[in-house]
């Protein structure tokens, strides 16, 4: 997979130079979302470079505009405590920085104070800190774009340097110019053409646009025709169809069908990525038909869902609805509630695209109910959020309030850390805005506080930071 190795090697080389060249204040890495997590791991590995004298701290927030400095301060403290334990065991007696900071209105001030305590606690050979920011989602004119230059000017003289990893977008690309010449820019996106060729080779299928193979397959001098070799003495005989069925396996899938299905699915995905939705539709349709013969309903449903999405890409929405309905019937027949919920979401999204908001809301609500029955709270919260958002967008305030209250009811019994990874905070903000518009200010204030608590993963009653 050279298509992935090349940009990762570039990131490794630039991170190594950044570790050595302590005059550099910022390393800005631009890469692709497909490499985001791996690229960040490569950057963090710079901490172990032979010439590095800094501790690396990682902050991969959901978005770049979130006011989460208090949360970052808590994560900074936790990461330092973990690193200190290993360093002390290795004979590097870095100091303690005390208990975790308490929640305060100014999260950025708390973060900066904790950094000072960490820098004071360092002992040779350590003499600095590198803060690595890699938000998953970056918006235009986000907070980091103004906060980081200010932090560099304030903290670099005290031994703090910065790395920013941005995926796909370039909204943070202005940081090097804002900070000055002591920055390093690493451009390491994936080459989509090379990636498609690598994926095709891995799956044993032709790359999109590749010329068809011509002529007979080459054989070495004296090679005879392909034959199946006789079994070796002591070899375990292959399992019979009856034995495979008894073990819950499909003989057709095990004996070559699964490999062929994988080839078709990968080839279809590559064609869609290359901008050939019709060819992708043909290949995925063949994969779904083949999968039907395996008597593996959950896998068949997955293939049908993919096929329906390809129908949308190929501009045949009517066919997409038909396929979604087939998949939904199979999911309901087999009691696969999780898949039924996802299919309802797909039908709702299709209705939105086709200008049918009322039907879409019905599908989203049904998806929420099914996800609750399947005990997948994150999916249920998102389905109810989508139902409420679509309702308020089309003038149904009561419908939005009902859906959003249902979403918050699903979130209420969950652990704070689990709720933090859902869209519950966004639901609370939306509901607060609707209530404030209806002049229910006290309820709106309470919901805005709830939104901050959910977003920061805090338990009920905990003080909320709005820094």
Last residue of a domain, one of 334, 355, 377: 334
- pLDDT at position 34 is 77
Q: Does 173 share its domain with 268?
A: no
The CATH number that applies at residue 202 is 1.25.40
Percent of the chain with pLDDT over 90: 27
- pLDDT at position 196 is 67
CA distance 409 to 414: 10
Is 218 inside any structural domain?
no
Of the candidate ranges 82-86, 110-114, 219-223, 374-378, the one whose mean pLDDT is the lowest: 219-223
Q: Does 317 share its domain with 381?
A: no
Measured in degrees and rounded to the nearest 5, phi and psi for residue 260 equal: -65, -40
State the chain's mean pLDDT as an integer. 84
Q: Please compute the mean of the pLDDT values over residues 52-76 and round it to a whole number.
A: 78
Q: Does 373 share its domain with 359?
A: yes
Of the candidate ranges 191-200, 326-335, 439-448, the one whose mean pLDDT is the lowest: 191-200
- pLDDT at position 63 is 59
- pLDDT at position 225 is 64
The CATH number that applies at residue 449 is 1.25.40.10
Question: For 89-143, how does the pLDDT look when each residue is reduced to its tens digit (9 = 90+)?
Answer: 888 888 888 888 877 767 788 888 888 888 888 888 888 999 998 887 777 667 7
Last residue of a domain, one of 163, 190, 217: 190
Is 229 inside any structural domain?
no
pLDDT at 467 over 50: no
- pLDDT at position 137 is 74
Is 51 inside any structural domain?
yes
Rounded to 10 deg, the angle between the 317-334 and 337-353 helix axes is: 160
Is 11 inside any structural domain?
yes
Question: For 415-450, how does the pLDDT look when each residue is reduced to its tens digit (9 = 90+)?
Answer: 888 888 888 888 888 888 888 887 777 888 888 888
Q: Please compute the mean of the pLDDT values over residues 266-291 and round it to a whole number.
A: 88
Q: Does 364 share its domain with 273?
A: no
Q: Does 310 share its domain with 374?
A: no
Q: Does 357 share its domain with 438?
A: yes
Better-scored residue on pLDDT, 330 or 445: 330
Q: Does 268 share its domain with 133?
A: no
Q: Does 160 share its domain with 279?
A: no
- pLDDT at position 191 is 76
pLDDT band, residue 348 (cuts 50/70/90):
very high
Rounded to 10 deg, the angle between the 2-20 and 36-44 helix axes is: 30
Query: How many domains, the chain?
Result: 3
Better-scored residue on pLDDT, 229 or 58: 58
The answer to whether the beta carbons of residues 118 and 97 sit under 8 Å apart is yes
Is 231 inside any structural domain?
no
Is 31 inside any structural domain?
yes
Burial bucket for residue 177 (CB in 10 Å: 0-12, 13-18, 19+): exposed
Last residue of a domain, one of 311, 334, 357: 334
Is 385 inside any structural domain?
yes
Q: Does 297 share its domain with 417?
A: no
Q: Does 285 share its domain with 380?
A: no
Question: For 75-89, how does the pLDDT look when each residue is reduced to its tens digit (9 = 90+)?
Answer: 888 888 888 888 888
Angle, alpha carbons 323-325-330 (nearest 5°):
100
Q: Does 106 share its domain with 139?
A: yes
- pLDDT at position 256 is 85
Better-scored residue on pLDDT, 2 or 207: 2
CA distance 236 to 51: 54
The answer to whether the beta carbons of residues 193 and 263 sit under 8 Å apart is no
Q: Please compute the mean of the pLDDT values over residues 145-157 and round it to a whole number.
A: 85
Q: CB neighbours of 248 closer than 8 A, spacing ≥ 6? A: none
Listed ranges 131-135, 240-244, 318-322, 392-396; the one with the highest mean pLDDT:
318-322
Q: Does 346 share its domain with 418?
A: yes
465: containing domain: 336-467
Is 432 inside any structural domain?
yes
Percent of the chain with pLDDT over 70: 89
CA nearest neighbour of 66 among 31, 107, 26 = 107
CA distance 434 to 444: 8
- pLDDT at position 211 is 56
- pLDDT at position 271 is 85
The CATH number that applies at residue 140 is 3.40.50
pLDDT at 339 over 70: yes
Q: Please compute the mean of the pLDDT values over residues 353-369 and round it to a whole number.
A: 93
CA distance 444 to 451: 10
């Amino acid at each position: 997979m050279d298509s992935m190795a090349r940009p990762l090697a570039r990131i490794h080389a630039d991170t190594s130079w950044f570790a050595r060249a302590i005059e550099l204040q910022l390393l800005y890495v631009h890469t692709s979302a497909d490499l985001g997590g791996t690229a960040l791991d490569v950057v963090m590995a710079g901490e172990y470079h032979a010439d590095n004298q800094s501790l690396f701290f990682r902050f991969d927030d959901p978005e770049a505009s979130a006011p989460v400095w208090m949360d970052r301060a808590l994560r900074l403290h936790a990461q330092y405590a973990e690193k200190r334990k290993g360093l002390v065991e290795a004979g590097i007696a870095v100091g303690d920085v005390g208990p975790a900071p308490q929640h305060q209105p100014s999260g950025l001030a708390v973060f900066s104070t904790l950094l000072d305590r960490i820098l004071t606690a360092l002992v040779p050979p350590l003499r600095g800190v590198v803060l690595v920011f890699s938000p998953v989602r970056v918006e235009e004119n986000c907070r980091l774009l103004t906060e980081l230059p200010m932090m560099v000017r304030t903290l670099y003289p005290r031994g703090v340097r910065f790395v920013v990893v941005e995926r796909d977008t370039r909204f943070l690309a202005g940081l090097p110019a804002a900070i000055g010449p002591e920055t390093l820019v690493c451009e390491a996106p994936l080459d989509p053409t090379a990636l498609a060729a690598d994926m095709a080779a891995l799956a044993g299928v032709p790359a999109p646009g590749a010329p068809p193979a011509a002529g007979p397959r080459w054989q070495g001098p004296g090679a005879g025709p392909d034959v199946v070799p006789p079994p070796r003495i002591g070899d375990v005989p292959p399992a019979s169809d009856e034995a495979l069925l008894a073990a819950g396996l499909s003989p057709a899938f095990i004996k070559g069908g699964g490999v062929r299905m994988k080839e078709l699915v990968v080839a279809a995905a590559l064609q869609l990525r290359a901008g050939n939705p019709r060819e992708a539709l043909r290949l995925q349709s063949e994969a779904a038909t083949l999968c039907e013969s395996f008597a593996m309903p959950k896998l068949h449903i997955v293939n049908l869902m993919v096929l329906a999405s390809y129908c949308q890409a190929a501009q045949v929405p009517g066919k997409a609805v038909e396929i979604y309905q087939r998949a939904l019937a199979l999911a309901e027949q087999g009691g696969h509630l999780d898949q039924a919920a996802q299919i309802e979401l797909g039908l709702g999204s299709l209705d939105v695209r086709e200008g049918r908001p009322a039907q879409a809301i019905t599908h989203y609500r049904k998806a929420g109910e099914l996800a609750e029955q399947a005990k997948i709270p994150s999916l249920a919260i998102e389905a109810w959020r989508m139902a409420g958002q679509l309702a308020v967008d089309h003038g149904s305030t009561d419908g939005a309030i009902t859906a959003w209250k249902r979403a918050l009811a699903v979130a209420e019994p969950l652990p704070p850390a689990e709720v933090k990874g859902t869209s519950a905070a966004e639901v609370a903000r939306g509901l607060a805005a609707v209530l404030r518009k209806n002049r229910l200010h006290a309820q709106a204030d309470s919901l805005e506080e709830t939104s901050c608590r959910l977003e920061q993963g805090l338990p009920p009653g905990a003080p909320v930071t709005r820094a």
